[in-house]
Amino acid sequence: MSDIFISPSEDVYIVTDFMATDLHTPLESKKLEDRFAQFFLYQIMRGLKYIHSAGVIHHDLKPGNILIDENCDLKIYDFGLAEAQRTGFDPTSFYRAPEIMLMWQKYNEKIDIWSAGCIFAEMLMGKPLFPGKDYENQFRIIIQFLGNPPENIVANVASQNALRFIRSLPECRREQMQKLIPGSNAKAAALLNRMLQFDPAQRISAADALDSQYLALYHDATDEPTATETFDWASLKADLTSDALKTAM
């Protein structure tokens, strides 16, 4: 953010850096070279580390919400669905975590890690990893590659309809990531495997992903900041001056 001000009519204007395009644009036509996928994923995970340390879940991470400038620097944007903790069901998305599709009552920041994993795979493949047509089709595609969800995950399903659907699915085994993403190197496959875990507790954190072998080229613990305090959600409802808004943002 470069600046923020409030007009006489009390409209809020936020001035940001110019970003030429988003990640969706290059992915429409081809997969990325591994060096670009590596650099972009590093920046995504660095951003998520900071966001999550502030107690914020982006909740709608996808290529169209990742902006790119002429230097290939990324910015995560569109926090319209962001929240500290989410409940309920979401619109259809190729990047939606299984705990959202299974209608868990509560879920955490690990939904962003799943989304980042889907984006990572798409950068390597040049197409969406789980291109579901609807709720059921999306989940069927996921289990074809990742196997059936473990019982501790199924136990958290709140919807009886969703539970019956899960129980009706055929038994599937988890595929090896290098088979799932042909041509990917072992380090990329190892990281992706940890990002795409059914169990959020087993899913790698953004901080640990930065410490992975795949991102070692860019990893610098002294330049991967965390928030100094958690975000105050009550401030969104407060009547703030422009100076107070600048401080809050």
Classify residue 237 as left (phi > 0), alpha (psi -120 to 50) or beta: alpha
Q: Which architecture characterizes domain 21-230 according to CATH?
A: Orthogonal Bundle (1.10)
The first and second tokens of residue 55, run together, are 């107690």
Q: Which residue has the higher pLDDT, 245 or 227?
A: 227
- Chain segment 25-52, per-residue pLDDT in tens: 999 888 899 999 999 999 999 999 999 9
Say what the pLDDT of residue 81 is: 55
Instruction: Give the count of beta carbons closer than 10 Å to the beta carbon of residue 12.
Output: 11
What residue ranges do the domains of the chain occupy? 21-230
Residues annotated as part of the active site: 60
- Chain segment 67-117, per-residue pLDDT in tens: 999 999 999 987 655 554 544 434 448 999 998 887 766 789 999 999 999
Q: CA-based angle 224:37:77, to the nearest 5?
A: 60
What is the pLDDT averaged over residues 123-143?
90
**3 state SS of 92:** coil
pTM of this structure: 0.86
CB 128 within 8 A of CB 165: no
